[in-house]
Amino acid sequence: MANKEIKYILFDFDGTLIDSMPFLEKNAVTLLMRHFSYSEQEAQTKYRETTGLPFIQQMEIIAPNHTQNSTIVDEFEKMKLELIYEQHPFNDALAVLQRLKEQGYLLGISSGTIESIITTYLKKIDFDLVNDILGFRQGFEKGADHFNYVMKNHSLSQSQILFVGDSLHDAKRAKDNQITFIGRIGMFTKSHFENVIPNCPIIHKLNEIFNRL
């Protein structure tokens, strides 16, 4: 996929830079089983089908207009806030971002997690290599909003941005906005990503990104 045009690399946060997806999935599955009496497999499938979106949007897809959605979202966010800072970056994450920075790339985080949580997390691990932390707030979310922010604030075109994420919704957002994408294998396989983007480049570990640049 060698693309010498790339100037800016956006990374998803949960499941791409930090190993938090097992923790988040466990919380979501617990809540879905409790509130909707789903089996564990049903709850896991519904969560995975919508992962990559802010949880409030996931719930509106899983149970449209359900009266319990706001309660479930509040419980999920509370559980996340209590333990998210105990989730560790992937072993190679910090070294990879340091090397990319040294090579002259601009770096950013694009996430469905609230920006203040990401900022606090990065401060706790003494990490200040990213140019932009773009989290979720109403009217500003991962996808077109974040891509447009990067293009406007760094005077870049779509062809100069690379997005790295671990969800199929990440891949779809990149495809819909003509942004180059690399899928990180974790919750989804290469074939899953290729169902969204034919011949989608993938990595199993972050340090494999250097073979894709």
**pTM across the whole model:** 0.92
The answer, yes or no, to whether residue 1 has pLDDT greater than 70, is no
2 pLDDT more than 60: no
| Region of poorest pLDDT, from 127-131, 150-154, 178-182 | 127-131
Sheet holding 8-11, edge to edge: 132-136, 106-114, 8-11, 161-165, 180-184, 202-203
In this prediction, residue 105 carries a pLDDT of 97
Contact status, residue 180 vs residue 6, Cβ threshold 8 Å: yes
**Average pLDDT across the chain, whole number:** 95
pLDDT at 162 over 60: yes
Question: What pLDDT is attached to residue 127?
Answer: 86
